[in-house]
């Protein structure tokens, strides 16, 4: 049997290629939208991809199933409750698929979503017994799938389904069975996932606090508690995956826009300007109304948390290659309406004498000086709850970034505010949004709380 795991850095998505070179056939489980990696691996290992499994209706990224199906003529296999609007094969509990020595048995394991499945995989060249489970978003390494994404009206049912799937459906598998989830650390589909890409049922039963044999009332109390706010783009991604996302095989190309074209587009309320330059570059000069997403491994996740996926985007950078890489990342989370890129940065605007925005970046020394001089200066901490609890920022008001996006802050527009986060990345996202919402005196702490803690005492 041939088996390979793939990871999308930043989003924490895992996918799998499972097959048999001897038989020349294989399947892909939970493919991402950029499918070239699967095609290359299949050619390298002399297998033809004949089936594609999505373990559930994904909310945090657009599935690559249709993209891969068009490239390979493979059959897309999903649970019937997905009610998909594209050609596919419904699969149910107990169905078996064989790819030479690789045998896959479908398990219905609802809980994270009502339409979740897991796959029990056996290597018949060694044994009839299950070797590992592709658990989708049912069971992670160190965590389990959150049950709230299907909606408040289904939460109680989903919690019961989740408990039954974990404690009854998986109970028949021995401790040595390996666990390969659809997500790892960095994903928003759980609370505290490990960075390790796989585990075993035995280890999880011993060390995963949500799989240690707890009674249902305790489990229910935990799973109906507070989760991170669902990003605004999640439901748009769900519907896109249900209907079938547009297929666009081949290399990504972007239209290069001039200043006049950008100015014409900026008048459209459906258009968002996404600036992917560094915090310092953005802070020095930016187009008013733009959001500083930057370009890091998890930029797509933060974009999806900040801007609705149905918006039309203009990518602002000083490098066309970076714009293409950003667009590639954004497609993963459903941003298909990219108008083009202003890949000269804002130099054209500077040379034309335009009035540009400015988001000052404070060093630790500067912020401490400001706090001494202006005792009413506000600190806005936009880290998540776990970060803030572990290492609170002195005197800060805590509003996690997703909460800020959803609800904003009820502060006077002339308040003086410094935004802080862990490293300075998220603070620029929020800082740029505050400026676009009319807050006049906004600053960001360079290096975030890491720089604050590491600064010499003499500062």
Task: Identify whether residues 347 and 365 lie together within a single domain.
Answer: no
> For the residues of 137-173, what is the DSSP string, one character each?
TTB-SS-B--S-TT-GGGHHHHHHHHHHIIIIITTTS
Neighbours of 191 (CB within 10 A): 19
Tell me what percent of the chain is helix, strand and coil, each rounded to the nearest 5: 30, 20, 45
Among the residue ranges 147-161, 267-281, 362-376, 386-400, the one predicted with the least confidence is: 147-161
pLDDT value for 458: 47
Task: Identify whether residues 109 and 193 lie together within a single domain.
Answer: yes
Among the residue ranges 221-230, 329-338, 394-403, the one predicted with the least confidence is: 221-230
Let me know if 171 is exposed, middle or buried by CB neighbors in 10 A (0-12, 13-18, 19+).
Answer: exposed
Task: Identify whether residues 8 and 135 lie together within a single domain.
Answer: yes
Q: Indicate whether 459 pLDDT > 70.
A: no
Does the residue 243 lie in any domain?
A: no
Task: Identify whether residues 336 and 375 lie together within a single domain.
Answer: no
- Mean of the per-residue pLDDT values for the chain? 92
Does the residue 445 lie in any domain?
A: yes
Residues 125/154, Cβ–Cβ less than 8 Å: no
pLDDT, average across residues 303-323? 93
Task: Identify whether residues 48 and 89 lie together within a single domain.
Answer: yes
pLDDT value for 154: 85
**Around 392, how many Cα atoms within 13 Å sit in the side-chain half-sphere?**
6
Task: Identify whether residues 136 and 262 lie together within a single domain.
Answer: no
Q: Indicate whether 187 pLDDT > 80.
A: no
Tokens of 384: 């998540």
Domain residue limits at 157: 2-237
Among residues 351, 380, 398, the one where a domain terminates is 351
pLDDT value for 190: 59
Residues in the chain: 459
Q: CATH number, domain at 228? A: 3.60.15.10
Among the residue ranges 14-28, 176-190, 224-238, the one predicted with the least confidence is: 224-238
Among residues 210, 237, 264, the one where a domain terminates is 237
The pLDDT-based confidence of 269 (bands split at 50, 70, 90) is very high
Task: Identify whether residues 80 and 175 lie together within a single domain.
Answer: yes
Does the residue 244 lie in any domain?
A: no
Does the residue 356 lie in any domain?
A: no
Does the residue 72 lie in any domain?
A: yes
Does the residue 278 lie in any domain?
A: yes
Cβ-based neighbours of 157, under 8 Å, separated by 6 or more? 114
Tokens of 411: 């502060």
Query: How many independent structural domains does the chain possess?
Result: 3
pLDDT, average across residues 40-52? 97
Q: CATH number, domain at 393? A: 3.40.250.10
Counting residues of the chain whose pLDDT is more than 70, the rounded percentage is 96
pLDDT, average across residues 366-382? 93
Task: Identify whether residues 328 and 413 lie together within a single domain.
Answer: no
Residue-wise pLDDT tens digits, 293-305? 999 988 998 998 8
Among residues 206, 237, 268, the one where a domain terminates is 237
Sheet holding 312-316, edge to edge: 291-292, 271-275, 312-316, 338-342
Task: Identify whether residues 76 and 8 lie together within a single domain.
Answer: yes
pLDDT, average across residues 175-184? 96
385 vs 103, which has greater pLDDT? 103
Among the residue ranges 211-225, 245-259, 328-342, the one predicted with the least confidence is: 245-259
Residue-wise pLDDT tens digits, 317-331? 999 999 999 999 999
Task: Identify whether residues 50 and 139 lie together within a single domain.
Answer: yes
Task: Identify whether residues 320 and 390 lie together within a single domain.
Answer: no
Under DSSP, the state recorded for 52 is E
pLDDT value for 232: 67
Does the residue 67 lie in any domain?
A: yes
Task: Identify whether residues 332 and 389 lie together within a single domain.
Answer: no
Q: Indicate whether 5 pLDDT > 50.
A: yes
Distances (CA, A) of 64 to 138, 254, 327, 345, 434: 20, 21, 16, 31, 35
pLDDT, average across residues 81-86? 94
Distances (CA, A) of 29 to 53, 245, 329, 386, 440: 5, 17, 20, 31, 49
Counting residues of the chain whose pLDDT is more than 90, the rounded percentage is 78
């Amino acid at each position: 049997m041939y088996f390979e795991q793939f990871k999308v850095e930043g989003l924490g998505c895992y996918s799998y290629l499972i097959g048999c070179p001897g038989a020349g056939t294989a399947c892909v489980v939970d493919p991402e939208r950029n499918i070239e990696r699967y095609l290359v691996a299949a050619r390298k290992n002399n297998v033809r991809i004949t089936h594609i499994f999505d373990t559930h209706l994904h909310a945090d990224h657009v599935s690559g199933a249709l993209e891969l199906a068009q490239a390979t003529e493979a059959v897309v296999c999903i649970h019937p409750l997905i009610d998909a609007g594209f050609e596919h094969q419904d699969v149910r509990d107990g169905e078996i698929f064989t790819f030479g020595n690789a045998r896959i048995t479908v398990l219905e394991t609802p809980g994270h979503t009502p339409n979740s499945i897991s796959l029990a995989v056996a290597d018949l060249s060694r044994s009839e017994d299950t070797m590992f489970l592709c658990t989708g978003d049912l069971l992670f390494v160190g965590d389990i799938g959150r049950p709230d994404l299907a909606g408040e009206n289904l939460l109680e049912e989903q919690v019961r389904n989740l408990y039954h799937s974990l404690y009854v459906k998986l109970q028949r598998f021995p401790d040595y069975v390996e666990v390969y989830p659809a997500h790892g650390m960095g994903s928003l589909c759980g609370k505290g996932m490990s960075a390790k890409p796989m585990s075993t049922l035995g280890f999880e039963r011993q060390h995963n606090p949500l799989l240690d044999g707890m009674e249902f009332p305790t489990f229910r109390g935990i799973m109906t508690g507070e989760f991170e706010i669902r990003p605004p783009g999640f439901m748009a991604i769900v519907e896109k995956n249900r209907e079938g996302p547009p297929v666009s095989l081949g290399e990504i190309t972007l239209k290069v826009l001039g200043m006049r074209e950008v100015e014409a587009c900026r008048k459209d309320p459906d258009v968002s300007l996404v600036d992917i330059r560094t915090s310092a570059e953005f802070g020095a000069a930016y187009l008013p109304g733009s959001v500083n997403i930057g370009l890091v491994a998890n930029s797509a996740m933060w974009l999806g948390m900040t801007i609705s996926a149905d918006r039309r985007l203009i990518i602002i950078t000083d490098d066309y290659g970076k714009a293409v890489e950003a667009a590639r990342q954004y497609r993963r989370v459903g941003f298909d309406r990219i108008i083009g890129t202003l890949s000269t940065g804002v130099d054209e605007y500077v040379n034309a004498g335009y009035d540009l925005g400015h988001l000052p970046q404070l060093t630790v020394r500067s912020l401490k000086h400001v706090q001494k001089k202006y005792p009413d200066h506000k600190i806005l901490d936009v880290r998540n709850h776990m970060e803030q609890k572990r290492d609170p920022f002195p005197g800060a008001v805590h509003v996690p970034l997703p909460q800020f996006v959803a609800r904003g802050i009820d502060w006077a527009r002339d308040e003086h505010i410094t935004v802080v986060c862990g490293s300075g990345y998220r603070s620029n996202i929020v800082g740029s949004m505050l400026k676009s919402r009319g807050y006049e005196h906004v600053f960001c702490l360079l290096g975030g709380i890491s720089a604050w803690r590491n600064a010499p005492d003499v500062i």
